[in-house]
Amino acid sequence: MWKNRNVWLVLGGEFIAGVGLWLGIIGNLEFLQTYVPSDFLKSLILFSGLLAGVMVGPLAGRVIDTYQKKQVLLYAGAGRMFSVVFMLLALKYESIFWMVCFMISIQIAAAFYFPALQATIPLVVAEKELLAMNGIHMNVATMARIFGTAFGGALLVVMSLYSLYIGAMIAYALLFLSTFFLTVKENKISSSSKQETKQGFKEVIPILRNVPIVYIAILLTFVPQLFIGGFNLMVINISELQHDPSIKGWLYTIEGTCFLIGAFIVKRITDDKRFVRWMYVFAIMIAFAHLSLYFADIKIASILSFGLFGMAVGCFFPITATIFQTNIAKEYHGRFFSFKNMLDRVMFQVVLLSSGFLLDTIGLQKMVLIFGALSLFIIFYVSLKKGTIKNRYEQNSA
């Protein structure tokens, strides 16, 4: 796999773009803190971009399945690069309007880019290498997050917000350039296939019903989303519970490090004939990590909880990504990953708003018990509803 030039281009591009993405996020938060006093207005501005991404999802899926994946990646990459211009205008005129334009444009570009990338990975590596590739790809994204946030924070101390966004634009430009050198072997899409894709998600739903392992994976993905949606709010509340601002850095570092370890070892502890079993194992670990935050007022307990979550989710996501890539026909990848992207965005917003409400009303410790119990209920429901699917899948794979 490491002799494959495409692998290096995808991973290198992901790291560079990831750094640019997190530089932009750090800049967004600084801009909002400076120019938007209302927390509710801040949430509406951030929500505007996410809503635009969800609304354009069906179109993105059809486009990805209708045209060459590399072509979609190039256009989406160009869109991400030029969207930064809106943020530079926002800084120049101290304008909320231009920031909203930036949020909408970059989220629309992302709605095309990330599903197209997920659909491209199976075209550039062999199927037997997909699990390893997905794990490494997520590790690279995590390292970009760690480096991007640290670098962005350091830049804000010595440089202006303009410099931060110029850095993000340069990163997107490098990603655009690296995409040119990708070699994607793709069959020419016929006119009849282009007509079929016009039905959009109507073609995806029946496929999900006919591929039970994908249905299971989608339902179990709700478990880590219950943790991820309230991640930042929980970190802030744990810091307040312990009266220790430094714990925030420890929790982010431990979670990120354990995620890297999990994504690194997942290939060594799993095999494709037992994917269903391992999904349940890691989902239960995530639910337990959520429940264990009941003891978040104890420093070592909160660190262990976030470490367990990072390890479990670092194993869980490469498995589900591989299941989606190998069990959904390639001609439906664009629509499926766009549908999955929309589902994740909606779930994230629901959990985020619910977390904020519950933290204000009942507090962190009761909230994590509710979410942890809900996670266990989801796992129990899926295992009860689809208890025979695992054996059927293993027999078909044998």
* 158 and 214 fall within a common domain: no
Determine, yes or no, domain membership for 260: yes
Encode pLDDT of 349-393 as tens digits: 788 778 878 888 888 889 999 999 999 999 998 888 765 555 554
Determine, yes or no, domain membership for 186: no
- Whole-angstrom Cα distance, residue 73 to residue 179? 7
* 153 and 291 fall within a common domain: no
Determine, yes or no, domain membership for 255: yes
Report residue 397's pLDDT band, with 50, 70 and 90 as the boundaries. Answer: very low
Most confident of 25-34, 288-297, 338-347: 288-297
CATH number of the domain residue 33 falls in = 1.20.1250.20
- Number of domains within the chain: 2
* 141 and 264 fall within a common domain: no
* 249 and 168 fall within a common domain: no
Give the number of residues written for the chain: 398
Angle at 106 between CA 130 and CA 117, to 5 degrees: 15
* 175 and 245 fall within a common domain: no
* 201 and 164 fall within a common domain: no
Encode pLDDT of 87-98 as tens digits: 899 888 888 899
* Mean pLDDT for all residues in the chain: 80
In sequence order, the 6+-apart residues with CB closer than 8 A to the CB of 204 are 61, 332, 335, 336, 339
Determine, yes or no, domain membership for 191: no
* 143 and 221 fall within a common domain: no
- Whole-angstrom Cα distance, residue 353 to residue 349? 6
Indicate the pTM of the whole model: 0.71
* 343 and 243 fall within a common domain: yes
* 277 and 144 fall within a common domain: no
* 105 and 235 fall within a common domain: no
Hey, CA dihedral for 327, 72, 259, 339, is it positive or negative?
negative
For the chain, percent of residues with pLDDT exceeding 90: 15
Work out the average pLDDT over 267-276: 71
pLDDT above 80: residue 190: no
In sequence order, the 6+-apart residues with CB closer than 8 A to the CB of 337 are 61, 64, 114, 115, 116, 118, 119, 324
Encode pLDDT of 67-85 as tens digits: 888 888 899 889 988 999 9
pLDDT for res 171: 85
Encode pLDDT of 207-228 as tens digits: 777 778 888 888 899 999 999 8
Determine, yes or no, domain membership for 100: yes
pLDDT for res 292: 93
pLDDT for res 188: 58
Query: Which of 126, 153, 181 is the last residue in one of the domains?
Result: 181
Q: What is the largest CA-CA distance in the chain?
A: 63
Encode pLDDT of 173-182 as tens digits: 888 888 888 7
Domain ranges, residue 77: 1-181
* 79 and 155 fall within a common domain: yes
Determine, yes or no, domain membership for 381: yes
Question: Which pair of structure tokens corresponds to residue 51?
Answer: 């809503």
Cα separations in angstroms, 245 against 137, 249, 255, 308, 352: 31, 8, 17, 21, 22
Residue given tokens 């930042």 in the structure block = 232
Determine, yes or no, domain membership for 398: no
In sequence order, the 6+-apart residues with CB closer than 8 A to the CB of 276 are 213, 216, 389, 390, 393, 394
* 114 and 216 fall within a common domain: no
- Output DSSP code: residue 202: G
